[in-house]
Amino acid sequence: MSSAIVDSPRRIEPLHAPEIKSPLVTETRHKMSLETLLSLLAFVVNCAAAVYLVFDIHYYAGDAISRVANAYYVLFSRNPHLGAIGFIWNPLPSLLELPLVTLHPWFGSVVTKGLAGSLISAGLGSVGTYHLARILQNMSLPKSWRIILTLCFSLNPLIVLYGANGMSDIMWVACMLGTYSGLFDYLQSGSLRRLVAAGIWLAMGLGMRYEAVPFGLLVIIALILGQWGTKHLSHIQGSAILLGAPIVFAGGVWIYFNWIIMKNPLYFLNSSYGNLAQTATGAYMTSAMIKAHHHILSAILYIVRFGLLYWPIYPGFLVTLWYSFGKKRDPRALILIAGTIGAELLELFFSYEGHLGQWDRYFLEFIPNGILLGSFAAHKIFSARQSWSKTRRVWAGIFLMVLFISGSMFTAKTLQVSYLGHPDGQILNAVFQGQSLKNTGNNPFYGDQRLIQYINHHPHLSILADTFIDWPIIIRSQHLNQFTITSDYNFSSVLHNPKGRIAAFLVPEPIKVAQLDAINRAWPGLWAGHVTWTRLIRAFPGGNNYRLYAILPSAP
CA 452 to mean position of chain CA atoms: 30
Same domain (yes/no): 459, 418: no
pLDDT in the model for residue 16: 37
Q: What are the distances in angstroms from CA 488 to CA 385, 462, 471, 494, 549? A: 65, 14, 14, 10, 20
Strand segments (E) across 153-270: none
Residue 8 located in a structural domain: no
Q: 242-293: per-residue pLDDT in tens?
A: 999 999 999 999 999 999 999 999 999 999 999 889 998 988 888 888 999 9
d(CA 544, CA 62): 14
Owning domain of residue 415: 23-35+50-433
Give me the chain's average pLDDT, please.
92
- Phi/psi at 12 (nearest 5 deg)? -95, -15
pLDDT in the model for residue 17: 33
Same domain (yes/no): 302, 346: yes
Taking residues 450-463, report their average pLDDT.
Answer: 96
Same domain (yes/no): 477, 527: yes
pLDDT in the model for residue 11: 38
pLDDT in the model for residue 440: 85
Which residues, other chains included, contact 542 with Cβ-Cβ below 8 Å and sequence gap of 6+? 446, 447, 448, 450
What is the pTM assigned to this prediction?
0.92
Give residue 166's region: left, alpha or beta (phi > 0; psi -120 to 50).
left
At residue 21, does pLDDT exceed 60? Answer: no
Lowest average pLDDT, out of 172-176, 262-266, 286-290, 387-391, goes to 387-391
Residue 440 located in a structural domain: no
Same domain (yes/no): 271, 371: yes
At residue 30, does pLDDT exceed 90? Answer: no
Q: 316-367: per-residue pLDDT in tens?
A: 999 999 998 877 789 999 999 999 999 999 999 999 999 998 899 999 999 9
- Phi/psi at 554 (nearest 5 deg)? -80, 0
At residue 153, does pLDDT exceed 90? Answer: yes
Which residues, other chains included, contact 483 with Cβ-Cβ below 8 Å and sequence gap of 6+? 78, 462, 463, 464, 465, 474, 477
d(CA 380, CA 330): 10
Q: 55-88: per-residue pLDDT in tens?
A: 999 999 999 999 999 999 999 999 999 999 999 9
Same domain (yes/no): 492, 391: no
Residue 126 located in a structural domain: yes
Residue 556 located in a structural domain: no
Domain count, the chain: 2
Q: Which of 299, 284, 283, 276 is nearest to 349 (CA)?
A: 299
Final residue of a structural domain among 433, 457, 488: 433
Beta bridge partners of 464: 484, 505
Q: 91-100: per-residue pLDDT in tens?
A: 999 999 999 9
DSSP 8-state assignment for residue 548: E
Percentage of the chain lying above the pLDDT 90 cut: 83
Final residue of a structural domain among 433, 459, 486: 433
Final residue of a structural domain among 392, 408, 433: 433
Same domain (yes/no): 244, 269: yes
Coil/strand/helix, residue 501:
coil
Same domain (yes/no): 424, 457: no
At residue 414, does pLDDT exceed 80? Answer: yes
At residue 178, does pLDDT exceed 60? Answer: yes
At residue 19, does pLDDT exceed 80? Answer: no
Same domain (yes/no): 424, 471: no
d(CA 92, CA 397): 40
At residue 7, does pLDDT exceed 70? Answer: no
Q: 106-137: per-residue pLDDT in tens?
A: 999 999 999 999 999 999 999 999 999 999 99
Residue 16 located in a structural domain: no
Q: Which of 187, 24, 53, 43 is nearest to 115 (CA)?
A: 53
Q: 512-545: per-residue pLDDT in tens?
A: 999 999 999 999 999 999 999 999 999 999 889 9
pLDDT band at 315 (very low <50, low <70, confident <90, very high): very high
Lowest average pLDDT, out of 190-199, 234-243, 321-330, goes to 321-330
CB of 468 closer than 8 Å to CB of 516:
yes
Same domain (yes/no): 415, 473: no
d(CA 211, CA 366): 13
Q: What are the distances in angstroms from CA 428 to CA 62, 137, 178? A: 16, 32, 28
At residue 31, does pLDDT exceed 90? Answer: no
Lowest average pLDDT, out of 289-293, 309-313, 486-490, goes to 289-293
Beta bridge partners of 228: 231
pLDDT in the model for residue 243: 98
Same domain (yes/no): 267, 388: yes
Same domain (yes/no): 244, 178: yes
Same domain (yes/no): 226, 344: yes
pLDDT in the model for residue 314: 97
d(CA 91, CA 219): 23
Residue 18 located in a structural domain: no
pLDDT in the model for residue 285: 85
